[in-house]
Structure 1
């Protein structure tokens, strides 16, 4: 019996994210792929909110994200992006991370999926699963190196307690985003935590809708029933008055067409 993963084609995925450049194992291509991804595939937890069970199997994720033009959250997005990178010839290692941003109950739980990509003698952290406020390009894994991306600045530092810590420069201070240790993980290692995110009473993922995507001049987000359209000159917020307006706004601002 053939493996269904072997029947998947990377070309529709590249079309999905609008990548038309050369297929070359390089840091430049990796950066282009991630930047295209975060501008075309939204972070979203709508299946969790609508009680649709998640699957982290690659064929299922491919169907959801590529064929149906949906998004997902970190365990979905980075699993499929990691598969794409490997199919394109990149060396990829999967890590678990603690997500610190906006976390009030610290130390943060291990509930984030992160990718390490080796290119020659350099290593990069690639992540398309944070949402509109995450790094738009991979970050070189160099202790203390400040890396500017547009109007955002990030750095990775080594800590004694939590391994590597990604920080962002925000309000004149370095703020933690996520941390990780360099223990390789297999696809099945993420299933239990993803299940917790779906169903645990304490999970932040099953309370309200969260949708986010980068745009050319900002980002679009949904917080429960409020849409926020961030642009360089400010933010426009609105709440759809009925389910049809909500569905139309999801499609307009995120390209998401939910099944009936």
Structure 2
């Protein structure tokens, strides 16, 4: 459980000034603030620094001004919500990349929040601050289509988990969707082996990909290597960051990632590796 000071520090980190009662409106405000101010990223994996997904370690990491990916983000956020009086549940889940089948492989942790509405009826909300560019606000665990900014999301029954659910991303977005199992997971230890695979395995999809994603009210940003993409209702605008100062400014000003755990020599080495990879990518993809 978080202390009162830790709760205040966490809320300050995501730009929330005051503690409110655990209502739907406050849950939405917390979710919006978290995805806006704490990006999804592979920075530490790319740099060869495996960060524990123990919730206390994830919270400390975020309070230092850092971030992580789904296991860190949803794990920490679940603890904050519980400390604020919400009823929160974690679930095994799996993200479906383009060209692959739906799966629940525990490479993602899903989250639901139970609330009582004004009529005293239970509502179940999908909360997920660990998917990068989806969603901006919680979604009801109810079949239907939901528009948030330029993204159209769909909630449906899962085809791979009995009584589970599926959150489908916008048809033009970075991945197809995520399937979630209904059974409750009681601690992050369930995901430790998969986190180790993501963090240290040579076969990890993130070992050689510098990727930062952020969702906001009108769309999303992505920094992949040296390519910055902004998506909003007008479409996608991409720009190439050719200088270290541009790259660091984008990390800090857009994503709030100021690499506070990295000294100037380490930041320079990180930039040089990213830029070399980018130049190799250009040789292959921009002929």
TM-score range, shorter chain: 0.7 to 0.9
Alignment CA distance shift 1:53-1:7 (3 Å): farther
Q: Which residue of 2 aligns with 1:154?
A: 153
Q: Which residue of 2 aligns with 1:106?
A: 101
Alignment CA distance shift 1:242-1:114 (3 Å): same
TM-score, length-scaled by structure 1:
0.86
Task: Output the CA distance in 2 between the equivalents of 1:254 and 1:75.
Answer: 19
Task: Output the CA distance in 2 between the equivalents of 1:161 and 1:215.
Answer: 30
Task: Output the CA distance in 1 between the equivalents of 2:253 and 2:27.
Answer: 28
TM-score, length-scaled by structure 2:
0.79
Q: Which residue of 2 aligns with 1:16?
A: 13
Q: Which residue of 2 aligns with 1:53?
A: 50
Q: Which residue of 2 aligns with 1:188?
A: 189
Task: Output the CA distance in 1 between the equivalents of 2:137 and 2:70.
Answer: 16
Gaps of at least 5 residues in structure 2 are 117-121, 264-287
Question: How far off its partner does 1:201 sit?
Answer: 3.3
Give matches, 1:106-145, under 5 Å.
106-108=101-103, 109-120=105-116, 121-132=122-133, 134-142=134-142, 144-145=143-144
Q: What's the CA shift string for 1:15-57, capped at 9, x where partnerless?
A: 1111235511112111111111111111111000000111112
Residue 57 of structure 2 aligns to a residue in which SS?
helix
Is the Cα–Cα contact under 8 Å of residues 151 and 219 in structure 2 kept in the other structure?
no
Task: Output the CA distance in 1 between the equivalents of 2:25 and 2:4.
Answer: 28
Task: Output the CA distance in 1 between the equivalents of 2:232 and 2:184.
Answer: 38
Question: How far off its partner does 1:6 sit?
Answer: 4.8
Task: Output the CA distance in 2 between the equivalents of 1:31 and 1:7.
Answer: 21
Q: Which residue of 2 aligns with 1:64?
A: 61
Is the Cα–Cα contact under 8 Å of residues 18 and 36 in structure 1 kept in the other structure?
yes
Deviates more, 1:219-228 or 1:234-243: 234-243
Question: How far off its partner does 1:235 sit?
Answer: 4.1
Instruction: State yes or no: 1:212 paired with 2:213.
Output: yes
Question: How far off its partner does 1:10 sit?
Answer: 0.6
Task: Output the CA distance in 1 between the equivalents of 2:129 and 2:58.
Answer: 14
Task: Output the CA distance in 1 between the equivalents of 2:258 and 2:241.
Answer: 16
Task: Output the CA distance in 1 between the equivalents of 2:95 and 2:13.
Answer: 28
Q: Which residue of 2 aligns with 1:78?
A: 74
Task: Output the CA distance in 2 between the equivalents of 1:232 and 1:105.
Answer: 27
Equivalent pairs, count: 250
